[in-house]
Structures are given as structure tokens and as C-alpha cells.
Amino acid sequence: MPLLEVRNLKVYYDLPQGTVKAVDGVSFSLEKGEILGVAGESGSGKSTLAHSIIGLVKPPGRVVDGEIIFEGRNLLELSEEELREIRGKDITMVFQDPNTYLNPVLRIGIQVGEVYEAHLGIEPRKAIDKVVDLLRKVRLTDPERRVESYPHELSGGMKQRVMISMAIALKPKLIILDEPTSALDVTIQAEIMELLMEMRDELGAAMIFISHDLELLGQVSDRLMIMYGGRLVEIGETEEIFRDPLHPYTEALINAIKYVRKEELPTLEGEPPSLLKPPPGCRFHPRCPKRMDRCSLVEPGEYMVGGRRVSCLLYEEEGDA
């Protein structure tokens, strides 16, 4: 049994202008200890997907359909209290911008200690030794002093270490990383990545690693999932996808990395699709170099090609997944 199985998940935002289908029928599974990279442009629905797994989609967003099965239980059917027990303990999350995701008026020691408060019933002040140990583990310098600090007294990299410490405190089974290095300086990014991988080796936790940086995902993930306009485009082994991308969108992304290395700037024509009024048929067809007449008429299903699942009419004859 996989650790996590997401089936036909749909998360919509009801806005005055209409319904935004941010995640529109996405399915995938995750084994224990596996790292799944999720790539896509901003607005592809990858961040909404991450938040919905932990039950934290901000209104007016709501999960309209699907199942999120974690260790055999459908998280969407759990009570708020049952879900609360899983959050921060079995499933944790590291967010994009540590500057806004830490509370500016509470000391670091309290904010980290709250994890123990929520799940072990230890008051944050009494958990201070545990917090210091934890901060040492994420290699925050001078942890005894840092527990007394406020977020604004720390650099961005230090803050992200604090966020990571909260996420690993109770040895979770799944850590969701939502662009954990995008808001940081380039030099700090490498340090944080190194720490994340080290923690992952130590804990053996599975990870969902969300990023728009396909090259980074190529280095760290076992499998890769590409999203476009709220839909899954392609999912499979990372190596295979890099070697032989099936979907024209995946191909364009991977070519982009190769060309950047050669310092020729490639561009994908056009703009990301409007999720309010997505193009008919395949959502990628207006930008697709391999576009066929049918692409604007028929929505592609998901087809199995080898070990991979791909959503493109080019592979229709391979049969439904």
C-alpha cells in the first residue's frame, strides 16, 4: 500500500469572476521514503495541491472532489480534530517564504516548541531543551540564544532552518516542501537543500517537493510530476523523463534547461493558461509545437507509456491509464 494516494483531486476557488479550477482531477501516489518532485509554472496548481493534502486550502478555495488517502485513511473524510493530529506530526510542511510564515511577535523558541505542545501536550516553555537540540540539528548557530530571538533578528536562511526544524521535530512520514528555497539567496539555497537532503536521509520520510526549478528537482527527486493549468501532464521516473520527455510541454521545459546551459535563451511561446477560462481541449494546445487539429477539440485522457503516465493525444493509441 502506498503511503499516500491522491485520486481525482479537484480544488476550486469560487471567485466573483467565476470558478478557478486550480487543481482539476489530479491523481498520483507516493511510496514510503520516496521523493516526488512536482514541477510547473506559477498558476499550474502545484501549491494548491500541496496545501490541500494537509487540509489548509485558504477560502474561497475548497476541495470539490477526490480522495486523499494517507496510510489507508481518506483525509478528506476525517474530522478537524483527527486531521489536526496528523498535521505537524505525520505530515508536515515547509513553506516558501520564511519571512511571512513565521509569526513576527512570538519568540523562535515558542514557535518551534508549539509542535511539542500540539502533539505531546508539553508547554512550549518547558520544551525549550528539546527545541535547542532540534535547532542544533538543523545547524542554526548559537541555538541557546536563538530560542529567545524573534524572527526579524534572523536572516532568511536561518528562518528557513527554523521552519525545517518544526517540520522534522516529530519524525514525520511525509514532508511537503512548497518551494522551500525560492525566497532565499542563491548561496543559501544550496545550504538549505543540503540540509533538507540530510534530514531526509536521517528520517527516511517521503517528500513532495514542489518547485518551478526543474533542474533542482532533477537532482533530488525519485519521480517527477509535471503540472500545467491545474492538470497532470506527465508523471514517471525522473531519469526517464529527463532522458526522454513524452509530453511536448515536458520536452520544452527540459530543452530549456539544456539551452540555458549552452547560454542560448529558448522561449516557450505564449502565456500560462487562464484557469478562469482554460482553453478548450488540451490546455497546452495554444502553445504546443506539436499541436494537431484535434487538440483544441478533445480533452486528452491519461495514457500509460511504459512506466509513465502522460496526458497528450499523441499517445492516445497506447490506451487509457
Partner 1 sequence: MEAPPKMSLARYIARRVLQAIPTLLILIVFMFILVRILPGDPARLIAGLEATEEDVERIREVLGLNKPLHEQFIDYMSGLLRGDLGTSIKYDRPVLEEILARFPKTLELAIAAELIAIALAIPLGVVSALKPYTKTGLLATIVSLIGSSMPIYWLGLMLIYIFSVQLRLLPSSGTGTLAHLVLPAVTLATLLMGNLVRITRASVLEALESNYIVTARSKGLREEVVVYRHALRNALIPIITITGLQLGALLGGAILTETVFAWPGLGQLLLTAINSRDYPLIQGIIIFYAVILIVINLVIDIAYAYIDPRVRVSLWSSG
List residues binding partner 1 (CB under 8 A).
51, 54, 56, 58, 80, 84-89, 92-93, 95, 97, 100-106, 111, 114-115, 117-119, 148, 150, 152-153, 163, 166
Minimum Å gap between C-beta 101 and partner 1 is: 5
Nearer CB in complex with partner 1: 103/274: 103
Nearer CB in complex with partner 1: 87/285: 87
Minimum Å gap between C-beta 136 and partner 1 is: 20
Which three cell numbers mark 299?
480533452
Nearer CB in complex with partner 1: 148/239: 148
CA distance 312 to 299: 9
Nearer CB in complex with partner 1: 31/85: 85
3-state secondary structure 215-270: HHHHHHCCEEEEEECCEEEEEEEHHHHHHCCCCHHHHHHHHHHHHHHCCCCCCCCC
Minimum Å gap between C-beta 111 and partner 1 is: 8
Nearer CB in complex with partner 1: 83/257: 83
CA distance 131 to 88: 15
Centre a 10 Å sphere on the Cβ of residue 113 and count the other Cβ atoms it contains: 25
Nearer CB in complex with partner 1: 16/261: 16
Minimum Å gap between C-beta 56 and partner 1 is: 6
Minimum Å gap between C-beta 85 and partner 1 is: 7
Nearer CB in complex with partner 1: 108/226: 108
Amino acid at 37: G
Helix (H) or strand (E) holding 63: strand 61-70
Nearer CB in complex with partner 1: 133/201: 133
* Cα–Cα nearest to 213, from 183, 236, 234, 239: 183
Minimum Å gap between C-beta 206 and partner 1 is: 17
Q: Residue 54 phi/psi, 5° resolution? A: -95, 5
Cβ(181)–Cβ(193) below 8 Å: yes
Minimum Å gap between C-beta 78 and partner 1 is: 13
CB-based burial of residue 165 (10 Å sphere; 0-12 exposed, 13-18 middle, 19+ buried)? buried
Which three cell numbers mark 216?
533542482
Residues whose CB is less than 8 angstroms from the CB of residue 268 and which lie 6 or more positions away in sequence, other chains included:
252, 253, 256, 287
Minimum Å gap between C-beta 212 and partner 1 is: 19
* Cα–Cα nearest to 242, from 262, 214, 265: 214
Which three cell numbers mark 135?
535547532
